[in-house]
Structure formats: structure tokens, C-alpha cells
Amino acid sequence: MSDNVAHAIAGAGGGIASMVLTYPLITLSTRSQVEAKRAETSVLDAVRRIIAREGVSGLYAGLESALFGISVTNFVYYYWYEFSRGAFENANVRRGLGKKLSTLESMAAGALAGSATVLLTNPIWVVNTRMTARKSEASSDLPTLENPRPTKPLGTFGVLRQLLKNEGFKALFAGVIPALVLVINPILQYTIFEQLKNFVEKKKGRRLAPMDAFYLGAIGKLFATGITYPYITVKSRMHVAEKADRDPSVFGSLQKIVDEEGVSGLYKGVGPKLLQSVITAAFLFAFKDAFYSMTIRARAKAKLAA
């Protein structure tokens, strides 16, 4: 097993663990983003409405596809990030510059990894957003005299089949342009993390501990998500928009939201999203570090056994 694969496995495992812990916040943020002109008085009120309407399981709508998506996304991202990073490090060593990456090199590695990840995993996140933001406020979700047995929400494959039947294969790549723009999010996150990591390791004279990674990961994600949130909103809207209503232009979508809802419309659900992103990133870096150590130990034992 190569070191790139070890990092990819650790990233996938860390992503799954962190997403399970924070998924209700993803649900709250996504629904706020895609339900235009919805007046949320507080996060607690939103939680109460979802539970009253759909039960506790409503907070975990789309979790199955999200876990699959995050495992694939993180595996692909970390594999290509470590591959790109290794290429830059080897080039630096050949030039006698040492292994440390410059800020521009860290950003370039993140851009390559992020672009590959978006193109390979966008269909997964389209399906997940459709499930998370399903038309749960419609009366068909609640028992009535006319409809005592409301239709059960579709599962992952049901949503995928319906999407392909009604809107075609292209619908799986809705929002791919803002998603590519959002490659800057992990670039910012990992650039900030790497620079802080280098500073901390140099100051402490040792390898970064999981708790250090937890705090530095949180700081990196806080800045990255705060800067890129309007594009996250546009991407979510594009994922759930019907074919006829979908604006292919990112800037057109941004302008439409501002015209109809004001600038605040670009930041719907930003509270839960920032909280979720920071907590997820913090746990991700901590879990990834732990999983990576476990993977390396398992690889060493396998070599000894062989």
C-alpha cells in the first residue's frame, strides 16, 4: 500500500466519522439555502419543525448518500492531494530546496486535487442535496383526511432514477461550475492548515498531535467557508432546481438571489453551515491523523507477516 493510498483511506474514514457527528447541521444549512424566502427565527425552531414534520430521522435525510459521497470525495481528494504534494516535494528536493511546500505550491496541489474530486463526485452530491432538501414542507408529507398515508420519501436509488428519468444525465452535473469555483474552499482550508502546521511543528519541534490538528483544521475551515459561502448557496440551489428553472450562469444565479432576497439570501443557513464546517473539519483532521497512524501500523504488520 502506497503512502498516497494510506492518506486516502485515512481521509475517507475521518470524513465518515466527522459527518455522522455533524449531519443534522448539514440538513439545517442545506434546507435554509434552497428554500427561498424562508424565515427561520432560530436553529432550534428549525429543528423543532423538522422533527414535528418528519421525526428525528428528518435531521438525517440523505445520510446514506452523504456517507458514500464523503468517503469517495475524501478518498479521491486526499489521494490526488498527496500525489500532487509529493510531486512538488520531489521537485523541491531535486532543486535543493527541501521538502516544505510554499504557499503557492500548497494551493496548486489543492487545486488539482479539488478539480478532480468535483468532476468525479458531483453526481453523488446532486442526489444527496435532492434528498436532504426534499419537498418536506408539502402537505403530502403529512397525514390528512384526503391522504391518510402520505407517500414515503424516495431512497438514494429512487431519487437517482427519478432524476435521470425526468431531467436526464446532465442533471447529475448541475452546479458543477460553482463547485469548481468552490475548489478554492479546500485550497484556502489546507493552505491555512499547512502553513499553521509548519509554524506549530517548527515551534514545538515535533510532529503535529491530533489535538493540534483539531484546532488548526477548525481555524482553516472557518476562514474558507466564511469567504466562499455565497457559492455554496448557489451550488445547492442549482442541485435542486428543475431543468426549466436552472440558470446555467453562476453570476446570473448570484444576481437572481440578490434581486429576489437581498444580499442576506446568499448567506441563508450560514450559521449552521459554519458551525458544521468548523466542527467537521476539526474532527476530520483529528480522525484522519489517527486513522493514518492506524493504517501505517497495519501496513507495517502486514509487511512483517509477509
Q: Which residues contact 65 (CB under 8 A, 6 or more apart)?
A: 124, 127, 128, 131, 156
Instruction: Kindly state whether residue 86 falls inside one of the protein's structural domains.
Output: yes
pLDDT for residue 146:
47
pLDDT of residue 89: 87
Is residue 305 one of the residues assigned to a domain? no
Q: Taking the chain (306 residues) in consecutive chunks of 10 residues, what is each chunk's mean pLDDT?
A: 81 86 79 57 69 80 81 87 86 82 79 85 80 53 47 70 83 79 78 82 80 81 81 74 59 79 78 77 80 83 78
- Residue 252 class from Cβ within 10 Å (0-12 exposed, 13-18 middle, 19+ buried)? exposed
CA 219 to chain centre: 16
pLDDT at 119: 85
Q: Is the pTM of this model over 0.85?
A: no
Q: How many structural domains comprise the chain? A: 1
* Residue 181: per-residue pLDDT: 75
Give dist(CA 267, CA 289) in Å, integer: 32
Q: Give the structural domain span for 172.
A: 3-297
pLDDT of residue 134: 61
Domain harbouring 65, CATH code: 1.50.40.10
CA atoms within 13 A on the CB side of 219: 13
Asked whether residue 304 is assigned to any structural domain, the reply reads no
- Output the CA angle 206-276-242, nearest 5 degrees: 135
**Does a structural domain hold residue 306?**
no
- 185 part of a folded domain: yes
Rounded CA-CA distance 252/135 in Å is: 24
pLDDT at 145 (0 to 100): 43
User: Nine-digit cell at 82?
Assistant: 498527496
Q: What is the pLDDT of residue 162?
A: 82
Q: Is residue 302 part of a domain?
A: no
Q: Determine, yes or no, domain membership for 172.
A: yes
Decide if 225 is inside a domain: yes
> 146 φ, ψ to 5°?
-75, -30
